[in-house]
Amino acid sequence: MELETEVLSLVNKALEKAGLSSARVVRLQKPPSPELGHFALMVNPLAKKKDPEKIGEQLKEALQSFKLVEKAVLAVSETKKGKKQVYLNLFLNETALRNARAEFHNQVLTHVFSPDFGKWEDFKGKTAVVEHTSANPISPLHVGNLRNSLHGDAFANILESLGYDVSRRYYVNDVGLQIAFTVVGYEILFYHLNVRPDEKIDVWLGQVYASMNCLYTIQDLKEWAKEEFENVEFSSDVYSLSEKELSEILSQIDKSIKDLNALIEETPRNDKQSKKHQDKTPEELRLKEFSDKKSEFKKYFAVQHSLQARFPFIFSSLHSYLIENNIDLKTRTREYLSTYEANPDSPIATLFREMVNWCLAGFQNTLGKFKVVFDAFDFESEITWSGMPKEIITRLAELRGIDTSKGLKGLRYTYPNDKVVALLKEIGRDRKTVPHRDNIPDLQLTRADGTALYPTKDIAYSIYKFQKTSADKVYNVVGAEQVLPQFQLLLPLWEMGYGNYAANLHHYVYEIVSLKNRIMSGRLAQYVTADDFYKETLVRARIAKKENDQERGVDLAKEDLDLFNSIVEAITLSVIRFSLLESDPKRRIVLDIDQALDLRQSSGPFVQYALARTHGIFRKAKEQFGISEGSILAEKIDVSVLTADREAKLFEMLGSIHDVLLRCYVEMNVSYVPKFAFELAQEFMKYYESTPILKGTNREEMIARLALVRAIQRVLTFLLELMGIPAVTQM
RNA sequence: GGAUCCGUGGCCUAGUUUGGAAGGGCACCGGCCUCCGGAGCCGGCGGCAGGGGUUCAAAUCCCCUCGGAUCCGCCA
């Protein structure tokens, strides 16, 4: 602001007068509350070794002699340790202040009322990819996935608003063991037993997945035990774990653990030197294996009973089918998986696709409720079939001088320090932000059989995302637990000559959502689904709306059901989107469903209510003065009559939206939007309570205030749109 | 063992990038509808995990300790 530089020059003059021409850059700051003044000057840094209070006194005298300064007040506060902090608070001359404010207010209004408000051109002509959600298509979306979707979607909206052409993409992980055994189960139920889903498809598949996972894991565990322990008696059913088997196996494991512990105790302590070697001894590794297995056995013993109890039909049908038809589940799963990876035209591939697409349709149905849509679904299988992973492996092996004449089996990609340093330098990233610093773990590129592993396909997919869309930036909205794998993508890209991709591939980090008093686990088919969350919130919103109508003596549901429903939906979406977006994405949230459903505690409805009030004002304005939202611009608006500090604060906020969005962009953090919307709504509420809009002293003032209200309304509506929330005009 | 993130009143949280007067919300207590809609407003209670360092000045930067989460698989 120009006013600020003017005041600053006065401060410098005053400093000279006091013989304190400072080498340091003098900065003005805003006092914490308007009653303290318009600008504040920190005296301590100017005083150097002298008494800051005396210096402050001198400066005060000097500054007060200027016309622009109405008065200056010395304020002293103390730090915890009793150090004095001296501020010189400056109150400016009324008319000068008014002129400066009027100019700024006019700028803000012009900006907010311009037809292309909300469309900035910072990144005009650039393209960005936002990949988000990307949940495995074998169980319903839960509130954790929803946090991902909503952040990804809102971030994409912000990028668009800043001028990017955005492609919203979903990476479908349709290749993998878990998918494969779920397909095996799907085929059995749907085609061999003619079972039809009696629930939403993704929910039903979630039960199939949990059941198959349990059967598969128990088979695997028992095979392990059979090899380890010869004297345990196993039943012929490899897919279930009896109490007798469990206790025998556990006692065997305990015995082994005891033996190993004794062995480790006996071996002479490694000296400190070798402690630096983090490699565990073979005994220690075995010990870990045993204790891991022990907890797995216990866990899956419980899991099988839990699933049997909760989904008896699906679980038993699958279980008995496998036994009666003598199917080796592990073998069949591997067969299905390798067929799918190798042959896109096989019937098995068709089966995979059928199931996956069906599940994705369920996801789209869910996400549609939250107004989240995608431009593309990219299948991991397509990436596999494209041959890109193989090319990447070969190329990386070549670059590292690895002999591949005997095939590509069990290839590891390492992260040599010098290469990492060079990479970081080129992409301008701080070493501190790198997980594991100078000891980044290797990346396993291929299996023992030479087929590509997930990380390799991820490298391929990263390249694909850039090339398919000619993107300048790619954002992956991925959980915080994946910071390492996300970073590991960069070096291979850079090494293969895609330094530009490495520099522009970003990880939008978000933390998981956990639930108070509830456990979420896909493998147990235990979760609060996004659908349930929506449904429950909708019910609450409807009740709240009904109660509210009753208090006001209306019955909107009777008068206009469509309007009633649209309001309830808007409130629902605001509750959900605010509750998952307003906290820092890097912060873990523990969702207390009951509390989240208490609408009066959510900032979503609060913002909507503020918006409803702005519309209420205009309804009245039209009634009484014939002025509407549309016609206000035709009036002669003179904002110079708005001189209150509250009004100045509101204009200042309205003028800062672009900065807020840029901050979201730079920090990859959407949460500033709902925070800002809430603050603006809050500030407006205070204004509304303190200042009569339509009952101002004169028409000029009323028009100016209406214009301000209209601007607030526009901005709030825009902010809600960014978050994918429909804005209400009444509540 | 190594690495990353986090710790702000009874509970949830903003502020940490760029050091400068600790903001909100819930809960609790007390006020405010003859008024542009009380899903609101006003007031009260109460806080930077602990220690050290740098600085005129530290919630913020550096180091240590404690506490929590996560990552270091031929799983995806």
Residues 440-499 of A near strand B (Cβ < 7 Å)? Answer: 441, 444, 446-449, 453-455, 480-485
- The Å distance, CA of A84 to C1' of B53, is 21
Q: What is the ipTM of this complex?
A: 0.96
> Is strand B less than 7 A from the beta carbon of A80?
yes
Residues 662-691 of A near strand B (Cβ < 7 Å)? Answer: 667, 671-672, 675, 682, 685-686, 688-691
Residues 335-354 of A near strand B (Cβ < 7 Å)? Answer: none
Q: What is the pLDDT of residues A166-191, one digit of tens each?
A: 999 999 999 999 999 999 999 999 99
> Is strand B less than 7 A from the beta carbon of A277?
no
- Residue that the structure tokens 């150097």 belong to: A48
What pLDDT, on the 0 to 100 scale, is given for residue A268? 55
- The Å distance, CA of A85 to C1' of B53, is 21
What pLDDT, on the 0 to 100 scale, is given for residue A26? 80
Residue A360 contacts residue A377 (beta carbons within 8 Å): yes
Residue A130 contacts residue A168 (beta carbons within 8 Å): yes
Nearest nucleotide to A545, CA against C1' atoms: B39
Q: What is the mean pLDDT of residues A657-663?
A: 96
Contacts of A450 (CB under 8 A, 6+ apart): A407, A408, A409, A410
Nearest nucleotide to A541, CA against C1' atoms: B39
Residue A369 contacts residue A534 (beta carbons within 8 Å): yes
> Is strand B less than 7 A from the beta carbon of A605?
yes
Residue A192 contacts residue A124 (beta carbons within 8 Å): no
List the structure tokens of A13: 């003059």
What pLDDT, on the 0 to 100 scale, is given for residue A231? 83
Residue with CA nearest C1' of nucleotide B4: A435
- The Å distance, CA of A240 to C1' of B28, is 54
Class of residue A94 by CB neighbours under 10 A (exposed 0-12, middle 13-18, buried 19+): exposed
- The Å distance, CA of A70 to C1' of B63, is 47
A404 falls in which pLDDT band (50, 70, 90)?
confident
Class of residue A126 by CB neighbours under 10 A (exposed 0-12, middle 13-18, buried 19+): middle
Q: Which fold has domain A569-722?
A: Isoleucyl-tRNA Synthetase; Domain 1 (1.10.730)
What pLDDT, on the 0 to 100 scale, is given for residue A35? 86
* CA pair distance A142, A306, nearest whole angstrom: 20
Residue with CA nearest C1' of nucleotide B2: A436
A272 falls in which pLDDT band (50, 70, 90)?
very low
Q: What is the gyration radius of the CA atoms in chain A, in angstroms? A: 32
Distances (CA, A) of A294 to A212, A215, A217, A222: 21, 17, 13, 12
DSSP state of A408: -
- The Å distance, CA of A603 to C1' of B35, is 26
> Is strand B less than 7 A from the beta carbon of A696?
no
Q: What is the largest CA-CA distance in chain A?
A: 99
What pLDDT, on the 0 to 100 scale, is given for residue A46? 85
Nearest nucleotide to A693, CA against C1' atoms: B36
Report CA torsion sign: A692, A694, A698, A704: positive
3-class secondary-structure state, position A413: strand
Backbone torsions φ then ψ of A708, nearest 5 degrees: -65, -45
Q: What is the pLDDT of residues A309-326, one digit of tens each?
A: 999 999 999 999 999 999
> Is strand B less than 7 A from the beta carbon of A552?
yes
Distances (CA, A) of A540 to A170, A371, A527, A546: 31, 20, 20, 10
Residues 124-163 of A near strand B (Cβ < 7 Å)? Answer: 136
Name the nearest CA neighbour of A674 among A111, A154, A62: A154
Mean confidence (pLDDT) of chain A: 91
What pLDDT, on the 0 to 100 scale, is given for residue A23? 57
Residues 364-383 of A near strand B (Cβ < 7 Å)? Answer: 380
- The Å distance, CA of A660 to C1' of B12, is 23
- The Å distance, CA of A270 to C1' of B11, is 48
Q: Is the pLDDT of residue A143 over 50?
A: yes
Q: Is the pLDDT of residue A593 over 80?
A: no
A259 falls in which pLDDT band (50, 70, 90)?
confident
> Is strand B less than 7 A from the beta carbon of A507?
no
Residue with CA nearest C1' of nucleotide B40: A685
> Is strand B less than 7 A from the beta carbon of A410?
yes
First to last CA, chain A: 38
List the structure tokens of A592: 């207390």
DSSP state of A441: P
Q: What percent of chain A has pLDDT over 70?
A: 97
Contacts of A132 (CB under 8 A, 6+ apart): A148, A149, A151, A152, A153, A155, A156, A168, A169, A170, A476, A477, A508
Q: Is the pLDDT of residue A197 over 90?
A: yes
CATH of domain A2-92: 3.30.1360.70
Q: What is the pLDDT of residues A413-447, one digit of tens each?
A: 999 988 998 998 888 888 777 888 778 899 999 98
A275 falls in which pLDDT band (50, 70, 90)?
very low
Strand partners, A591: A515
Residue A367 contacts residue A133 (beta carbons within 8 Å): yes
> Is strand B less than 7 A from the beta carbon of A176?
yes
> Is strand B less than 7 A from the beta carbon of A406?
no
3-class secondary-structure state, position A71: strand
- The Å distance, CA of A34 to C1' of B21, is 12
Q: Is the pLDDT of residue A277 over 50?
A: no
3-class secondary-structure state, position A718: helix
Q: What is the mean pLDDT of residues A609-622?
A: 96
Class of domain A127-172+381-522: alpha beta
- The Å distance, CA of A238 to C1' of B34, is 80
Q: What is the pLDDT of residues A499-541, one digit of tens each?
A: 999 999 999 999 988 887 777 788 888 888 999 999 999 999 9
Q: Is the pLDDT of residue A331 over 50?
A: yes
* CA pair distance A375, A363, nearest whole angstrom: 14
* CA pair distance A661, A486, nearest whole angstrom: 25
- The Å distance, CA of A693 to C1' of B35, is 12
For strand B, give the nucleotides within 7 A of a protein CB. Answer: 1-6, 12-15, 17, 20-27, 36-42, 56-59, 69-76
Q: What is the mean pLDDT of residues A44-54?
A: 83
What pLDDT, on the 0 to 100 scale, is given for residue A280? 64
Q: Is the pLDDT of residue A695 over 90?
A: no
- Angle (CA) A335-A336-A339 rounded to 5° is 85
> Is strand B less than 7 A from the beta carbon of A692?
yes
Report CA torsion sign: A654, A658, A662, A665: positive
Name the helix (H) or strand (E) containing A534. helix A530-551
Long-range contacts of range A113-117, CB-CB < 8 Å, 24 or more positions apart? A113/A633, A113/A710, A113/A711, A113/A714, A117/A714, A117/A718
> Is strand B less than 7 A from the beta carbon of A432?
yes
Residue with CA nearest C1' of nucleotide B48: A80
Domain locations in chain A as residue ranges: 2-92, 127-172+381-522, 177-267+281-341, 569-722
Q: Is the pLDDT of residue A649 over 90?
A: yes
Residue with CA nearest C1' of nucleotide B57: A85
